[in-house]
Amino acid sequence: MSRAGSNLTSLDFSVRWFFIPPFVAIFTVAVVNFFSSGLAIPVDPAIRWLSGLMFALLTVLYGIFIKQGFLKGLFPVQLIAQGILLCPLSLQMGALPLSWIGVLMVICGAVTLVAMYYRRSRASPMHPESAASTELDNLPLPFAIIDANGYIISISNFLLLMVQKTRDDVNGEQIDSLLPLDQDTISIDGKKWRILRTPMDDETYYFQLEEVRDVIVSSSPHIEMEIENSIIDPATSLYNQSYAIKRVEEELYRIYRYKRWMSAALLRVDFPESEFNSGFNPKKEDEIFNAYCRFVNSNTRETDIICLAAPREILIVMPETLSDGAQDAVSKLLDFTSHTQEETQEFSGVMEITERIVFFNASSGVVDFDRLIEKLDEAAAL
């Protein structure tokens, strides 16, 4: 498979060399000669030399783009080169209207090339400040980010350690040199890992390995429950904190790497002394709180990450959500009793919920779970 792809690429590149600007210029000269007339305008030799130099440089740039595989940039470079050639040539040969077409070609090609380069630079690996970059690289997450062609543009130290590779070994390599793309799992050091793939907005892909826990077939309900509890807490239906921390830090890395955003909310549940709950005991309070957790889980999106940040605090991380959207989502979670009257009818009026919401983006400087909780605590103090 890999060998066949390499041969196709070589053939494709060899064909493109026949379309370098000097070869296409033959057609341009023929067109100008066809529309030429006797109304020639002399062109200063300095302008001719400058046009020739720029044409030569654009030819070199065209070749560089072929070698680097930046094929989308070939057309705008060709457009600029032929436009630069067309401007003085049409004046000298008396095809005056074509000179304006040449100017338009140069402008369109330059604008297109700048737009492509800007988009490519945003999609390529960024070079943030050394402190933040080191902190992200050291996150204990086996992940990699590839471009649309499958080449690795970012990889974590944790994954490099797992596959026993150095950063120089994978530089310029495709992801299939590390992970089998035709399989859903991979075995490393006797452990089985699930390969997760997530497409990103800028035509890149996020790959992550997630350990697969073997399912033990046993008649013992305690063993089955222990396996089920590895990710989800059955009492609350929320993620266990250890799993949620990993998911949250993945999301924090994503918003930093791709200049995205998210919102996080912390719901604190209290049971103040009142005529409604003066006789309540901790066990009954746990029942109420667990029922509320299940209510929160059933009224949020599947993409949201929800877990307990503390015994009576629920953390809700909402990817790709602005502050207004987060506020609307949280407001629907504050009307607990009216939505669950059948389940908690006897507990009506015994619970108070305090919410605080913080918006995070790439410039927030938050790259781990503990710092996120600190930000939420700071918001409560304001």
Q: What is the token pair recorded at 280?
A: 């309540």
Number of domains within the chain: 3
Domain span holding position 27: 2-123
- From 160, 178, 211, the end of a domain falls on 211
Task: Give mean pLDDT, residues 69-78.
Answer: 82
Is residue 217 situated within a structural domain? Answer: no
For residue 219, being part of any structural domain is answered with no
Tell whether 69 and 105 lie within a shared domain: yes
Q: Are residues 85 and 165 in the same domain?
A: no
356 with 327, same domain: the answer is yes
Tell me the C-alpha to C-alpha distance, in Å, between residue 330 and each of 264, 299, 323, 362. 10, 10, 10, 23
Instruction: Examine residue 96 and state whether it is found in any structural domain, yes or no.
Output: yes
Q: At what angle do helices 21-34 and 45-68 cross, to 10 degrees?
A: 140
CATH of the domain at 155: 3.30.450.20
**Residue 32 and residue 93: Cα distance in Å, rounded?**
7
What is the distance between the alpha carbons of residues 332 and 353, in angstroms, rounded to a whole number? 12
Domain membership of residue 218 (yes or no) is no
pLDDT at 125: 42
Residues 29 and 156 both lie in one domain: no
Q: In whole angstroms, give the CA distance from residue 114 to residue 106.
A: 12
Q: Do 172 and 280 fall into the same domain?
A: no
Q: Helix, strand or coil for residue 233?
A: strand
Inform me whether the pLDDT recorded for 100 exceeds 60: yes
Q: What are the counts of helices (DSSP H) followed by strands (DSSP E) for the chain? A: 15, 11
Side-chain half-sphere exposure of 264, counting CA atoms within 13 A: 32
Instruction: Indicate whether 256 and 358 sit together in one domain.
Output: yes
Q: Are 374 and 234 members of one domain? A: yes
Closest CA to 272 of 349, 161, 168, 371: 349
Q: State how far the Cα of 332 lies from the Cα of 344, in Å rounded to an integer.
A: 17
Residues 49 and 118 in one domain: yes
The answer to whether 251 and 262 are in contact (CB under 8 A) is yes
Q: Which of 101, 123, 145 is the last residue before a domain boundary?
A: 123
Does residue 1 contact residue 50 with C-beta atoms inside 8 Å?
A: no
| Structure token pair of residue 75 | 């057309």
Q: Does residue 103 form part of some domain?
A: yes
- Kindly tell me the burial class for residue 23, based on how many C-beta atoms sit within 10 Å of its own C-beta (0-12, 13-18, 19 or more): exposed
- Look at residues 288, 282, 292, 287 and name the one whose alpha carbon lies nearest to residue 334: 292
Lowest mean pLDDT among 98-112, 216-230, 340-354: 216-230
Phi, psi of 307 (to 5 degrees): -155, 175
**Number of C-beta neighbours around residue 273 at 10 A:** 8
Q: Give the integer Cα–Cα distance in Å for 86 and 89.
A: 5
| Domain contains 216 | no
Q: How confident is the model at residue 313 (pLDDT cuts 50, 70, 90)?
A: very high
> Which amino acid, one-letter code, is at 312?
R
Q: Which of 123, 148, 178 is the last residue of a domain?
A: 123
Amino acid 238: pLDDT: 92
Tell me the CATH number at 367: 3.30.70.270
Which range of 34-43, 255-264, 269-278, 302-311 scores highest in mean pLDDT? It is 302-311
Residue 139 DSSP label: S
In a domain, 295, yes or no: yes
Together in a domain, 143 and 179? yes
The verdict on residue 220 lying in a domain is no
| 237/358 same-domain check | yes
The answer to whether residues 315 and 244 touch, using CB atoms and an 8 Å cutoff, is yes
Tokens 């002394």 belong to: 273
Query: H/E element holding 317?
Result: strand 313-319
Report the alpha-carbon distance of residue 116 to residue 73 in Å, rounded.
7
- Bridge partners (DSSP) of residue 125 are none
Residues 62 and 117 in one domain: yes
Per residue in 207-232, pLDDT (tens digit) is 888 777 554 444 455 545 554 456 88
125-167 per-position pLDDT tens digit: 443 333 333 455 556 678 888 887 888 887 888 788 888 888 7
Distance separating alpha carbons of residues 91 and 357, to the nearest angstrom:
66
What's the rounded Cα separation, in Å, for the pair 315 and 264?
7
Tell whether 174 and 283 lie within a shared domain: no
Q: Percent of the chain scored above 90 by pLDDT?
A: 8
User: 142 in helix, strand or coil?
Assistant: coil
